[in-house]
Chains A and B, each alone.
Chain A
């Protein structure tokens, strides 16, 4: 059963709807004790990374999340939270995955936000089992996670190469929205719910 960290950064209706369609059960994580109740944890997130970090701190869950040994998936800003730092609000983040979240640079001749369907190149990872190279996922973001081959598990190109997904130990993050990425996104959510460490 999946626990969704309920810290008020963005709406989770679409995420819970996707889990319902997949018949994956879930509940909300509001306290440290709640973290124990679930086998898998999702950290959702939309909006401003710095503001989201402040909200997460407000829940008092930061220490407990960092200590988790069960599979954890950060989605979009939830993924950015597990990195070291974001240029958005010059924010110090959870630093679980030692990479940085940076702003897309207009001078690369790209539109910002990066909005729409973009192909990814997944590596051989359980999260992407059954997902073919160049499958497209739905992205909406103005900040990206720098590509680092040690932690990258799927890369994407938009003006430059960045990480569409990262992993360190039991911590996973995806920049795209699996709940909005059609069948491919549902497969990633399903794969996550089946991860065993």
Chain B
């Protein structure tokens, strides 16, 4: 049986992690390699690195970071942020990334999904979608929820699946940062529609929220940032709690 995955998400800027202060015994809390190794040690099933570097040196710093993570990490990881063309993806693949996550570049140019899937295989292509409820509809947003698009979330995800996305990372902007739980209703609905794995994101505040999203929405994975970084939820405890609730996990 396939386990449900728990995925910490790390924000990276200029090759340094910008969250994650609550780990003990870290020599350098800003070092993505050390943080990643800690999470792997704790039982994280996978990691997502979101690069928020704005400088034009970004690709170089990103590649260096990916290489050093890949040298040390013995679990899979995804890189997102600023990937706009095949060459970006190829450089990340060659540096050891298992998957790449694309968001606004895919909205601007949906064919990018198709091109990436054809070149590297569907398993390499994660489509990240930021969604927000607007006038009774779920609308795709860009720039961390600041910019609304004309795309309805359900339609966009279906289209992306047809184009060759291998996985969906769905973040509910309405729930993100609230710590009030995942958007189980929307996640469940989207999950019913598609035949590729879906990662739930946005709203995790307690261990119960993870149990809930796996039980109610039956998603394949759940992603969170701050609850892990600030030690509010410890992954070993979370895994045991999920297991107690008959959710298949890797312990």
Residues in chain A within 8 A of chain B (CB atoms): 11, 13-14, 17-18, 20-21, 46-48, 106, 111-119, 136, 138, 140-142, 157-158, 177, 179-183, 185-186
Contacts and interface: CB of A to CB of B under 8 A. Distances in A.
A17 B67 CA distance: 9
A172 B191 CA distance: 36
Given A106-B195, A116-B221, A182 B74 contact: yes
Contact of A117 (B5, B95, B121): B5
B3 interface: yes
Given A118-B2, A138-B76, A183-B74, A11 B93 contact: yes
B41 to A, nearest CB: 10
B60 interface: no
A185 B123 contact: no
B75 interface: yes
A15 to B, nearest CB: 10
A187 to B, nearest CB: 11
A157 B26 CA distance: 39
Contacts of A113: 122-123, 166, 196-197
B95 A13 contact: yes
SS class, residues of chain A in contact with chain B? mixed
A117 B1 CA distance: 9
B250 interface: yes
Given A13-B95, A115-B123, A157 B1 contact: yes
Contacts of B98: 14, 140, 180
Contacts of B46: 116
Contact of B3 (A14, A118, A142, A183): A118
Contacts of B40: 182
Interface size class of B (residues with CB under 8 A): 20 to 34
Given A14-B96, A47-B120, A106-B195, A115 B74 contact: no
Contacts of A157: 1
15 contacts: A21-B74, A111-B197, A111-B220, A116-B2, A116-B221, A117-B250, A118-B2, A118-B3, A119-B1, A142-B122, A142-B123, A179-B74, A180-B74, A182-B40, A182-B74
Given A48-B121, A117-B3, A138 B75 contact: yes
A185 B74 contact: yes
B166 A18 contact: no
B74 A116 contact: no
B159 interface: no
Contacts of B45: 116-117
Contacts of A18: 74
A8 to B, nearest CB: 12
B121 A14 contact: no
B121 A20 contact: no
A117 B5 CA distance: 8
Interface centre among B75, B93, B120, B123 (most CB of A within 10 A): B123
A14 B70 contact: yes
B75 A17 contact: no
B107 to A, nearest CB: 23
B93 A136 contact: no
A180 B76 contact: yes
Interface string B63-77: 000010011101110
Contacts of A138: 75-76
A136 B94 CA distance: 26
Contacts of A182: 40, 74-75
B96 A11 contact: yes
B176 interface: no
B247 to A, nearest CB: 13
Given A111-B220, A181-B75, 14 more contacts: A13-B94, A13-B96, A17-B71, A106-B195, A111-B197, A113-B197, A114-B2, A116-B221, A117-B2, A119-B3, A136-B250, A138-B76, A158-B1, A180-B75
